[in-house]
Amino acid sequence: MGYRKLPSCHCHVNHRANAGCHQPKQKSHPMCRCAHALELGGIQAQLRSVDVGELENGLPIIFDIILKRTSPDIIYNKDNGKFTLCKSGTYHVNWDVAVEGSYFQPFVTLALTADDEIINAATLPITVGQLSSTAMVTVTDNPVDIALINNTNDVIQLSRYAPVANITITKITSGCKVAPEPQTTNPRPQRHHHHHCRPHHRHHAPPCRCCK
């Protein structure tokens, strides 16, 4: 897919085709701050301990290390493994878990829950390997608690090698903000360039209005 500059956006940045900030044209100040309107913040956590071993069905994965936290809108509770999305907005969740088996089932399933309701799941048709998935979570009025749980209907064995699990939650804030228009002064009068009229005189054409 190529890149082109859209006529509806005057921020002087390249957008993909059929995309853009869709900001109405500003006559006196066409520059908009689209390049600075996308804000990303979030939290990155990891389970490094290999002593967890087994995980009962329905229980969450407890991440033991917070690698980075750049948003105050996401809070992690290490006691129950839940991440609270405090403010309204759109959140992108990316996770992966390494497993080594289950007792009776020939597969392993992990699920992402929002307020204890499953919104995303991944199944490994073999019992040894890595599961991963992504999800978008929209928060409106009330905070939302999300967690990553065992949904295999069986006890599963987590990996004996670190890191066992990773999760990244990113809050996405975007928009096209236009800078306030500067105060305009009286424009300088334009001078007429009479040399544009000379070709008319050479062919004995009537003089234009600027030469009258």
Percentage of the chain beyond pLDDT 90 is 59
For residue 64, pLDDT over 70 is answered with yes
> What's the total number of domains in the chain?
2
Give the pLDDT band of residue 126 (cuts 50, 70, 90): confident
Domain ranges, residue 113: 39-173
Residue 145: name the closest of 100, 189, 106, 115 by CA: 115
CA angle, residues 83, 84, 90, in degrees to nearest 5: 100
Report how far residue 208's alpha carbon sits from residue 187's, in angstroms, rounded to the nearest whole number: 25
Mean pLDDT, all residues of the chain: 80
Q: Which domain CATH number covers 146?
A: 2.60.120.40
pLDDT at 204: 56
Give the torsion sign (CA, 11, 33, 174, 43).
positive
31 and 103: one domain?
no
Name, in order, each residue with C-beta under 8 angstroms of 57's C-beta and a sequence gap of 6 or more.
150, 151, 152, 153, 154, 155, 156
9 and 82: one domain?
no
75 and 148: one domain?
yes
73 and 84: one domain?
yes
Report how far residue 127's alpha carbon sits from residue 150's, in angstroms, rounded to the nearest whole number: 13
182: preceding bond cis by omega (within 30 degrees) = no
30 and 47: one domain?
no
120 and 169: one domain?
yes
61 and 149: one domain?
yes
Report how far residue 31's alpha carbon sits from residue 16's, in angstroms, rounded to the nearest whole number: 19
pLDDT at 84: 98
45 and 114: one domain?
yes
2 and 48: one domain?
no
pLDDT at 177: 53
Judge whether 147 and 91 are in contact, CB under 8 Å: no
Residues 127-151, mean pLDDT to the nearest whole number: 96
78 and 124: one domain?
yes
Tell me, what amino acid is at 191? R
Q: What SS3 class is residue 201? A: helix
73 and 169: one domain?
yes
